[in-house]
Amino acid sequence: MRNCVIGAGVTGLAAGFAGNCPVFEACDAPGGMSRSYTVRPGKPRRWDKGPRDPDAYRFDHGGGHWIFGLDAALQTDLSRYCRLRPHHRVSSVFFSESDRYVPFPIQNHLHCLEPAVARRALEEILHPPQIPVSTQAEWLAANFGPTLNELFFAPFHERYTAGLWTRLAPQDAYKSPVEFFAVRAGAQGQPHASGYNVTFHYPVDGLSRLWEAFGQRVDVRYNNRVVRIDVPDRTVRFHDGSSISFDDLLSTLPLHHTLELAGLAVNAPPDPFTSVLVLNLGGSKGPRCPSDHWLYVPDSRSGFHRVGIYSNVSPDFLPGVDLSVTEKVSFYIERAYLPDSRPDAVTIEAYIQSVFQELKEWNFLREAEAWDCHWVEVAYTWTWPRSIWKQEALALLERHGIHAIGRYGRWHFQGIADSLREGFLWGTALR
C-alpha cells in the first residue's frame, strides 16, 4: 500500500475514488461534517443510519451544507447517487432591534434602507477613501464606508470572527462583492443578485444518503483514527496499534493537526481559526417566520451571527406524518468562539434557552420540540497579515510526501463542489 488518504469527508472520498486508494476514517460513516442525521421530538439521540424516520426532524452536522458552484459535469456525476433539488438563494440581513429585513448582499439593496442612510452609504461606496489596507476591518472600511460598517459589517464581523476581524488579513472578498453598477442599480430599486451562492443544490434525501452511495465506490476503512505519522519511515499509525506505509499521503485533516501528527513545525506563528457552536432546532412555527433560507444577524442578544431555516430549503427536513409543513419549522443557529473558549454544559444550556426566547420574541418560533448542539472545533480558518505560515507548512509536509488537501488541509474556504473537484484532481495526480 503506497498511496492513501486520511479522512473520508468530501475531499477525501473524491481523492480515494479518483486515486483508487484506501481512505482511513476515524468515524463509522462517510461525509465528515457534511452529513445529515435525525432527532425525534423528546428523544435527544442522534440517528443517521437506516431508513428515514418519518417522525423525526432532519438536521445537518454543523448546520446547513448547501452545494453551491456545481458545474454541469459535477452535477451529472452527483445525480448518479442522489436526486438533487436546485434552489435560488433567498437570504437577508435581519436587524432584529428594528425588525427590518434587507436582502443580501446589503450593498446591492440600499433602497431597503432609510433614504438618508441609503444616500450616505451610496456616496461612500462610490467614492471610497484612499487608505492603506492590511486588515479585514480596514478592507471593509475602504470598500463600504462608515455608514454600512456601523450599521452591519462591523457588528456582524465582530460576531462572525469571534472578535478577530480587526487583526485578520483581508480575505474572502467574493463573499461581500463590491460592484459599482450593482450598488447603483440597487439604490434605485433595481437590485442585482450577486455572490458565490446565488444558486445552490441539496440532495432530496439528505447529505448522508449521498455520501453513503458515493462511498460504496471507495475503499473506506472506518474506525481508524490516526494517532501519529512517522515521517522518517513514512508510516501512519492508528489508535488500535496497526499501521500502514506510504509513498504519498493525502491528509484532509486541519493543517495544524497534520503538522502535529507528523511532529513537524515551522518558524512562522500559526494562522488562527475559529470554532462554532451550532444549535439545530425544530418546533412549531411562529406567525412571522420569514421565507429566507438564511439570515445574517448583526444584533442578536444571544450572540449568534446567522440563523438558517432548513425547512425553507425543503419540507423534507420536517417530520412528515399527519403534519402540515406550514405548522413546523427547523433552524440552525451559529455562534462563533475562539477555540480556547469552548463553553461548558451549563453555559450551553443557558445559551439554548436564550435562543429559544429570542426566536419566540421575533415570532419565528412558538415552541421548541427537538434540538441538538454541535461544537465544530475548526469551523473557519483565517490568515494573519503578511503571514507565511500556511505556505511554509504546506511546503514542509510536501517534502515528506504528505499533501494537505481540502478546505481545512489547505486552510482556505471552499464549499462541497470545490472540495470534490480538489479531491478528484489530487487523486488523479497520484494515480
> What pTM was computed for the model?
0.94
Asked if residues 255 and 266 have their Cβ atoms less than 8 Å apart, the reply is: no
Question: Pairing relation of β-strands 100-103 and 402-404?
Answer: unpaired
Amino acid at 351: Y
DSSP-assigned letter for residue 269: P
DSSP letter for each residue of 344-363? -HHHHHHHHHHHHHHHHHTT
Residue 295: what pLDDT? 98
The grid cell for 156 is 456582524
Helix (H) or strand (E) holding 284: strand 273-285
DSSP letter for each residue of 66-129? -EE---HHHHHHHTTTS-EEEEE--EEEEETTTTEEEESSGGG-GGGS-HHHHHHHHHHHHS--
**What whole-number distance in Å separates Cα of residue 212 and Cα of residue 37?**
13
Asked if residues 293 and 413 have their Cβ atoms less than 8 Å apart, the reply is: no
Q: What domains can you pick out in the chain, each with its CATH number? A: 3-30+218-266+388-430 (3.50.50.60), 36-47+50-90+273-381 (3.90.660), 106-187 (no CATH)
**What whole-number distance in Å separates Cα of residue 361 and Cα of residue 357?**
6
Q: Could you list the pLDDT tens digit for every one of the 431 residues in the chain? A: 589 999 999 999 999 999 999 999 999 999 999 999 999 998 767 777 666 788 899 999 999 999 999 999 999 999 999 999 999 999 999 999 999 999 999 999 999 999 999 999 999 999 988 888 999 999 999 999 999 999 999 999 999 999 999 999 998 888 888 899 999 999 999 998 888 889 999 999 999 999 999 999 999 999 999 999 999 999 999 999 999 999 999 999 999 999 999 999 999 999 999 999 999 999 999 999 999 999 999 999 999 999 999 999 999 999 975 455 569 999 999 999 999 999 999 999 999 999 999 999 999 999 999 999 999 999 999 999 999 999 999 999 999 999 999 999 999 999 999 999 999 999 999 88
